[in-house]
Amino acid sequence: MPSVIDLYEKLSTAPDDKARARIIAEAFEALEERYPNLSDMATRQDLRETELRLLKEIEQVRADLKVEIE
């Protein structure tokens, strides 16, 4: 993927909106090729929600084991 400066230069020298749209589309295509699983990446919020869910499940298992042991 070209640098941001290259992208800026291409956009600023493009003759019309259609050419600019094509440049932007090509930049997105290059980004998708470089990071094919970009849409599958977890966000910090996703990770935090998973962590909280796992902590809740761990506490439930601990409570269940405590009841079974007694």
pLDDT one-digit tens code per residue, 30-60: 988 888 887 778 889 999 999 999 999 999 9
Residues 6+ away with beta carbon under 8 Å from 10 = 2, 23
* CB-based burial, 50-70: b 16+ in 10 Å, e otherwise: eeeeeeeeeeeeeeeeeeeee
Q: Whole-structure pTM over 0.85, yes or no? A: no
